[in-house]
Amino acid sequence: MDKHIRYRRLEETYNMAVSRCRGDMERSVVGCFGKYGESAEGQRQLDHGVGQAVEYWNDRCFEQFAQLMEERGIRNKLDELDELLEKAKSREGESSGFCESGITDRVESRMYEEKQNVLRQLEERAAGLRVKRDTMGYELAQLQKEVQDGIRVVEGIANEFSGEEVDVSGDMDSLLQELNDLIKE
């Protein structure tokens, strides 16, 4: 029996969390392109694109997880913890001055501290991503305004030369809405 089980359990927990998030992400992305997926070809292309995006996201998350675990030496620490607990159990009955409840308390305290550090780092990264998202939303709004201004200019020129009112915006509104929805997600 493998004595080093804590790291394996951590990886299993991570994989379960990513699997749950993966399904949520697929539904969110597909929801942004409702009209696009109405045709068979559009749905096929959408499924393919979403699959690639989700796979990239999954791989990127695992790389970040592995990098964090390596930077912190989590695997070695958890393996050492497994070994220490195994030694403590083997010494049970000897008066070595170790109390299993004391070891358990220290282990739980250390695990809580590490968990808090990881959560703090994840919050910092999430805050940075929120700032980037907000910046991109602002830039998108500016681009939308510029596109709408450009459309007005083109419509004005077309009206001037044709003598009748011309609408060149076409599906521009639906495209802008889909882009805006994607940024919000």
- What string of pLDDT tens digits covers the 185 residues of the chain? 467 788 888 888 888 888 888 878 777 877 787 777 778 888 888 888 888 888 888 888 888 888 988 898 888 888 888 888 888 777 765 544 555 567 788 888 888 999 999 999 999 999 999 899 888 888 888 988 888 888 888 777 777 777 666 565 555 666 667 666 766 76
| 113 located within any domain | no
DSSP H or E stretch at residue 96: none
| Claim to verify: residue 4 and residue 93 sit in the same structural domain | yes
| Claim to verify: residue 136 and residue 93 sit in the same structural domain | no
Measured distance CA(86)–CA(84) in Å, rounded: 5
Q: Which of 181, 5, 163 is nearest to 79 (CA)?
A: 5
| Claim to verify: residue 93 and residue 130 sit in the same structural domain | no
Q: Which one-letter amino acid corresponds to residue 59?
A: D
Domain end marker among 36, 64, 98: 98
How many independent structural domains does the chain possess?
A: 2
| Claim to verify: residue 91 and residue 137 sit in the same structural domain | no
Q: What is the span of the domain harbouring residue 56?
A: 1-98
pLDDT at 99: 56
pLDDT at 121: 92
